[in-house]
Amino acid sequence: MTAVPVSLGVGPTSAATSTAPAGASSLADAAAEARRRAAEREMSRARRNARVDGRERRRRSDVELSQIAERGRRELGGSGPGSTDEATAEEVIAWAVAEFGDSLAVASSMTDSVLAALVSAQLPWVDVLFGETGYHFAETIGTRDAVAHSLDVTVVDVRPLLSVAEQDDAYGPDLFARDPEACCRMRKVEPMRRVLSGYEAWATGVRRADSASRATAELVSWDASNNLVKINPIAGWSDDQLVGYALRHGLTVNPLLNDGYPSIGCEPCTRRVGPGEDARAGRWAGADKSECGLHI
Which active-site residues does the annotation give? 292
Q: Report whether 263 contacts 279 (CB < 8 A).
A: yes
Q: What string of H, E and C letters represents the secondary structure of 65-116? A: HHHHHHHHHHHHCCCCCCCCCCCCHHHHHHHHHHHHHHHEEEECCCCECHHH
> Rounded distance, CA 208 to CA 189, Å?
21
Nearest CA-CA partner of 140 in 292, 10, 252, 285: 252
Q: Report whether 158 contacts 130 (CB < 8 A).
A: yes
β-strand partners of 126: 153
Is position 206 annotated in a ligand binding site?
no
> Rounded distance, CA 233 to CA 219, Å?
6
Q: Report whether 223 contacts 217 (CB < 8 A).
A: no
Is position 272 annotated in a ligand binding site?
no
> Rounded distance, CA 20 to CA 237, Å?
47
Please give the helix or strand (H or E) that residue 156 lies within, else none: strand 153-158
Is position 25 annotated in a ligand binding site?
no
> Rounded distance, CA 213 to CA 134, Å?
27
- Which ranges in the chain belong to alpha helices (H)? 20-52, 62-76, 89-100, 114-120, 138-150, 164-171, 175-178, 180-184, 190-196, 239-248
Is position 183 annotated in a ligand binding site?
yes
Residues forming the annotated binding site for [4Fe-4S] cluster? 183-184, 266, 269
Residues forming the annotated binding site? 183-184, 266, 269
